Protein backbone atom coordinates (compact mmCIF):
# COMPACT_ATOMS: atom_id res chain seq x y z
CA UNK A 1 0.00 0.00 0.00
CA UNK A 2 1.67 3.17 -1.17
CA UNK A 3 0.96 6.33 0.83
CA UNK A 4 1.22 9.38 -1.40
CA UNK A 5 0.83 13.12 -1.34
CA UNK A 6 -2.48 14.41 -2.63
CA UNK A 7 -1.15 15.46 -6.04
CA UNK A 8 0.67 12.20 -6.68
CA UNK A 9 -2.42 10.32 -5.53
CA UNK A 10 -4.52 12.12 -8.13
CA UNK A 11 -1.96 11.37 -10.85
CA UNK A 12 -1.74 7.70 -9.92
CA UNK A 13 -5.52 7.47 -9.70
CA UNK A 14 -5.84 8.85 -13.23
CA UNK A 15 -3.31 6.29 -14.36
CA UNK A 16 -5.31 3.50 -12.68
CA UNK A 17 -8.44 4.56 -14.53
CA UNK A 18 -6.61 4.58 -17.84
CA UNK A 19 -5.12 1.15 -17.21
CA UNK A 20 -8.51 -0.41 -16.46
CA UNK A 21 -10.34 0.83 -19.52
CA UNK A 22 -10.31 -2.53 -21.29
CA UNK A 23 -10.77 -4.79 -18.30
CA UNK A 24 -10.91 -4.74 -14.54
CA UNK A 25 -12.34 -2.33 -12.01
CA UNK A 26 -11.13 0.63 -9.99
CA UNK A 27 -12.21 0.67 -6.35
CA UNK A 28 -12.02 3.88 -4.34
CA UNK A 29 -12.55 3.83 -0.59
CA UNK A 30 -13.21 6.81 1.63
CA UNK A 31 -13.11 6.83 5.43
CA UNK A 32 -12.92 9.37 8.23
CA UNK A 33 -9.47 9.50 9.80
CA UNK A 34 -8.71 10.56 13.37
CA UNK A 35 -4.95 10.81 13.17
CA UNK A 36 -3.83 7.54 14.80
CA UNK A 37 -0.43 6.27 13.73
CA UNK A 38 -0.21 3.32 16.15
CA UNK A 39 -2.56 0.40 16.83
CA UNK A 40 -5.10 0.69 19.62
CA UNK A 41 -3.26 -0.10 22.92
CA UNK A 42 -4.30 -2.90 25.30
CA UNK A 43 -6.50 -2.16 28.29
CA UNK A 44 -4.74 -0.21 30.99
CA UNK A 45 -2.17 1.31 28.67
CA UNK A 46 -2.26 4.99 27.95
CA UNK A 47 -3.50 5.90 24.56
CA UNK A 48 -1.58 8.87 23.32
CA UNK A 49 -2.38 10.21 19.92
CA UNK A 50 -3.51 13.60 18.85
CA UNK A 51 -7.15 13.46 17.81
CA UNK A 52 -7.79 15.17 14.52
CA UNK A 53 -11.22 15.83 13.20
CA UNK A 54 -10.57 17.24 9.78
CA UNK A 55 -8.97 14.43 7.83
CA UNK A 56 -10.06 11.46 5.80
CA UNK A 57 -8.33 8.51 4.22
CA UNK A 58 -8.66 7.89 0.51
CA UNK A 59 -7.62 4.57 -0.98
CA UNK A 60 -7.69 3.34 -4.56
CA UNK A 61 -6.96 -0.03 -6.11
CA UNK A 62 -7.27 -1.91 -9.38
CA UNK A 63 -7.07 -5.30 -7.70
CA UNK A 64 -3.29 -5.42 -7.88
CA UNK A 65 -1.87 -1.97 -7.22
CA UNK A 66 -2.93 -0.05 -4.14
CA UNK A 67 -2.46 3.64 -3.38
CA UNK A 68 -3.65 5.87 -0.59
CA UNK A 69 -3.55 9.42 0.72
CA UNK A 70 -4.74 11.53 3.63
CA UNK A 71 -7.00 14.35 2.50
CA UNK A 72 -7.58 17.55 4.41
CA UNK A 73 -10.62 19.76 4.10
CA UNK A 74 -9.01 22.20 1.72
CA UNK A 75 -7.99 19.55 -0.78
CA UNK A 76 -11.33 17.83 -1.26
CA UNK A 77 -12.47 20.10 -4.03
CA UNK A 78 -9.34 19.32 -6.04
CA UNK A 79 -9.90 15.60 -5.68
CA UNK A 80 -13.51 15.65 -6.75
CA UNK A 81 -12.62 17.70 -9.81
CA UNK A 82 -9.98 15.22 -10.89
CA UNK A 83 -12.40 12.35 -10.52
CA UNK A 84 -15.30 13.97 -12.32
CA UNK A 85 -13.39 14.62 -15.53
CA UNK A 86 -12.44 10.96 -15.84
CA UNK A 87 -15.88 9.56 -15.11
CA UNK A 88 -17.91 11.84 -17.32
CA UNK A 89 -15.67 11.16 -20.29
CA UNK A 90 -15.78 7.39 -20.09
CA UNK A 91 -19.33 6.70 -18.99
CA UNK A 92 -21.11 7.44 -22.23
CA UNK A 93 -22.97 4.11 -22.24
CA UNK A 94 -26.52 5.22 -21.62
CA UNK A 95 -27.00 8.94 -21.28
CA UNK A 96 -30.48 10.22 -20.54
CA UNK A 97 -32.35 7.02 -21.27
CA UNK A 98 -35.40 8.53 -19.59
CA UNK A 99 -35.57 11.64 -21.79
CA UNK B 1 -26.69 -7.14 0.72
CA UNK B 2 -29.52 -5.22 -0.90
CA UNK B 3 -29.09 -3.05 -3.96
CA UNK B 4 -31.31 -0.02 -3.66
CA UNK B 5 -33.67 0.61 -6.56
CA UNK B 6 -34.03 4.34 -6.13
CA UNK B 7 -31.24 6.85 -5.69
CA UNK B 8 -33.30 8.94 -3.26
CA UNK B 9 -33.70 6.12 -0.76
CA UNK B 10 -30.07 5.14 -1.02
CA UNK B 11 -28.80 8.69 -0.51
CA UNK B 12 -31.01 9.22 2.53
CA UNK B 13 -30.09 5.88 4.11
CA UNK B 14 -26.39 6.43 3.42
CA UNK B 15 -26.26 9.82 5.07
CA UNK B 16 -28.29 8.55 8.01
CA UNK B 17 -25.94 5.60 8.48
CA UNK B 18 -22.90 7.84 8.38
CA UNK B 19 -24.32 10.19 11.00
CA UNK B 20 -24.94 7.35 13.46
CA UNK B 21 -21.18 6.60 13.66
CA UNK B 22 -18.83 8.66 11.47
CA UNK B 23 -15.73 6.74 12.55
CA UNK B 24 -17.08 3.33 11.60
CA UNK B 25 -18.64 4.07 8.24
CA UNK B 26 -16.68 3.76 4.99
CA UNK B 27 -17.70 4.52 1.43
CA UNK B 28 -16.56 2.34 -1.46
CA UNK B 29 -16.84 3.24 -5.15
CA UNK B 30 -16.22 0.55 -7.74
CA UNK B 31 -16.01 1.52 -11.38
CA UNK B 32 -15.80 -0.89 -14.32
CA UNK B 33 -15.26 0.78 -17.64
CA UNK B 34 -15.33 -2.50 -19.61
CA UNK B 35 -18.80 -3.31 -18.25
CA UNK B 36 -19.81 0.33 -18.12
CA UNK B 37 -21.13 0.51 -14.57
CA UNK B 38 -20.47 2.18 -11.26
CA UNK B 39 -21.36 0.80 -7.85
CA UNK B 40 -21.36 2.73 -4.57
CA UNK B 41 -21.41 1.02 -1.17
CA UNK B 42 -21.81 2.58 2.28
CA UNK B 43 -21.24 0.30 5.25
CA UNK B 44 -20.38 0.22 8.94
CA UNK B 45 -19.55 -3.48 8.77
CA UNK B 46 -22.96 -4.34 10.22
CA UNK B 47 -25.30 -2.64 7.79
CA UNK B 48 -24.47 -2.52 4.07
CA UNK B 49 -26.16 -0.25 1.54
CA UNK B 50 -25.42 -0.52 -2.17
CA UNK B 51 -26.45 1.25 -5.36
CA UNK B 52 -25.48 0.26 -8.87
CA UNK B 53 -25.87 2.14 -12.12
CA UNK B 54 -24.87 2.24 -15.77
CA UNK B 55 -26.34 5.67 -16.45
CA UNK B 56 -24.06 8.63 -16.96
CA UNK B 57 -26.61 10.91 -15.34
CA UNK B 58 -26.27 8.97 -12.07
CA UNK B 59 -22.53 9.61 -11.98
CA UNK B 60 -23.14 13.21 -11.05
CA UNK B 61 -25.47 12.21 -8.22
CA UNK B 62 -22.97 9.71 -6.88
CA UNK B 63 -20.26 12.33 -7.19
CA UNK B 64 -22.32 14.79 -5.16
CA UNK B 65 -23.10 12.29 -2.41
CA UNK B 66 -19.47 11.20 -2.25
CA UNK B 67 -18.37 14.81 -1.97
CA UNK B 68 -21.00 15.51 0.65
CA UNK B 69 -19.85 12.60 2.81
CA UNK B 70 -16.24 13.69 2.38
CA UNK B 71 -17.11 17.16 3.54
CA UNK B 72 -18.91 15.75 6.57
CA UNK B 73 -15.83 13.74 7.43
CA UNK B 74 -13.44 16.67 7.37
CA UNK B 75 -15.63 19.36 8.83
CA UNK B 76 -14.67 20.53 12.28
CA UNK B 77 -17.15 21.62 14.92
CA UNK B 78 -16.96 25.17 13.70
CA UNK B 79 -17.81 24.06 10.18
CA UNK B 80 -14.79 25.76 8.66
CA UNK B 81 -13.49 24.18 5.49
CA UNK B 82 -12.13 24.74 1.99
CA UNK B 83 -9.75 27.42 3.10
CA UNK B 84 -8.02 27.55 -0.27
Region A73-81 average pLDDT:
59
- Residue-wise pLDDT for A3-34, tens only, equals 999 889 888 988 888 888 888 899 999 999 98
Q: Identify which of A82, A88, A97, A32 has the alpha carbon closest to the alpha carbon of residue B38.
A: A88
What is the full per-residue pLDDT of chain B (84 aa) written as tens digits? 789 999 999 999 999 999 999 999 999 999 988 888 899 999 999 999 999 998 888 888 888 898 888 888 888 644 444 443
Residue A10, min C-alpha distance to chain B (Å): 15
- Assign B10 to helix, strand or coil: helix
Q: Measured between CB atoms, which of A22, A54, A74 is closest to B84? A: A74
Neighbours of B78 (CB within 10 A): 6
Is B64 in CB contact (< 8 Å) with chain A? no
Q: Answer yes or no: are the C-beta atoms of B24 and B45 closer than 8 Å.
A: yes
Phi then psi for residue B20, to 5 deg, are -70, -35
Task: Give the contacts of A59 (CB within 8 A, at least 6 positions apart).
Answer: A1, A28, A29, A66, A67, A68
Considering only residues A87 and B81, tell me which one the structure prediction assigns the higher pLDDT.
Answer: A87
Calculate the CA B28 to chain-centre distance: 7
ipTM of this complex:
0.85
B82 touches chain A (CB under 8 A): yes
pLDDT digits (tens, 9 = 90+) for A28-74: 999 999 888 888 888 888 877 778 888 899 999 999 999 999 987 65
What is the β-pairing status of strands A55-61 and A66-72?
A: antiparallel
Q: Strand order of the sheet with strand B37-43?
A: A2-3, A66-72, A55-61, A26-33, B26-32, B37-43, B48-53
State whether residue B1 sits within 8 Å of chain A by CB.
no
Amino acid sequence: MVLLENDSFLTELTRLFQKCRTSGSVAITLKKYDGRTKPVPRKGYPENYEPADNKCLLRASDGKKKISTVAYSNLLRAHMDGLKKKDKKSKGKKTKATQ
Amino acid sequence: MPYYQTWEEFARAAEKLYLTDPMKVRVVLKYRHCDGNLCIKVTDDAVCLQYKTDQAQDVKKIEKLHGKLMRLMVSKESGAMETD
